[in-house]
């Protein structure tokens, strides 16, 4: 999802960490609104939130990936978190002398990497990741590497 599809109308500098709530939705006491952290969601979860909010003004928070797209939680991380919530703790097998491959996750965004504030969701993002990598002047979609 392109960052340009979610322009922040009223930037907010409140501390997301100090807000009440879980990782994806928190309550802002200053403005009495819910803040939806899109980067704490998978892309399908975030798109569902935005689809339900179409035409409304909502408060969101997200980090960009440096290429003009919103950074989302990956599906593999979401599945691992869901599986670990339901698993029973067991002792791991011995790895003495073995080198198990380490899972590499993208570096988390720092607090300064996030944008937060009001957006008005008025249209579906026209630049899903599955589109052709060529720029389309009609939609303004960015070129992909």
State the average pLDDT for the chain. 73
d(CA 115, CA 71) in angstroms, rounded, equals 11
Q: Decide the pairing of beta strands 57-64 and 70-71.
A: antiparallel
Residue 1: predicted pLDDT: 84
Choice among 36-45, 72-81, 102-111 with the minimum mean pLDDT: 102-111
Sign, Cα dihedral of 24, 69, 141, 8: positive
List the Cα angle 125/106/95 in 5-degree steps: 145
Residue 55 in this model has a pLDDT that exceeds 90: no
Reported as a single tens digit per residue, the pLDDT across 85-142 is: 555 554 444 444 444 333 334 445 555 688 999 888 876 655 555 444 444 544 445 5
Instruction: Read off the pLDDT of each residue in 40-67 and give the average, rounded to a whole number.
Output: 91
Instruction: Read off the pLDDT of each residue in 30-58 and give the average, rounded to a whole number.
Output: 92
Which tops the pLDDT comparison, 65 or 138?
Answer: 65
Residue 39: predicted pLDDT: 95
Residue 97: predicted pLDDT: 43
d(CA 101, CA 103) in angstroms, rounded, equals 7
Instruction: Read off the pLDDT of each residue in 67-93 and give the average, rounded to a whole number.
Output: 65
C-alpha gyration radius of the chain = 18
């Amino acid at each position: 999802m392109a960052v340009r599809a979610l322009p922040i109308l009223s930037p907010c500098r409140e501390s997301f960490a100090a807000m009440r709530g879980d990782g994806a939705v928190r309550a802002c006491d200053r403005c009495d609104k819910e803040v939806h952290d899109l980067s704490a969601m998978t892309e399908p979860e975030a798109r569902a939130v935005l689809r339900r909010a179409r035409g409304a003004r909502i408060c969101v928070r997200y980090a960009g990936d440096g290429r003009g797209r919103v950074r989302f939680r990956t599906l593999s991380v979401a599945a691992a978190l869901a599986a670990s919530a339901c698993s029973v703790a067991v002792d791991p097998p011995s790895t003495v002398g073995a080198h198990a491959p380490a899972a590499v996750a993208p570096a988390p965004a720092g607090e300064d990497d996030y944008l937060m504030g009001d957006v008005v969701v008025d249209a579906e993002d026209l630049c899903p990741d599955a589109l052709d990598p060529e720029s389309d002047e009609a939609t303004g979609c960015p070129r992909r590497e």
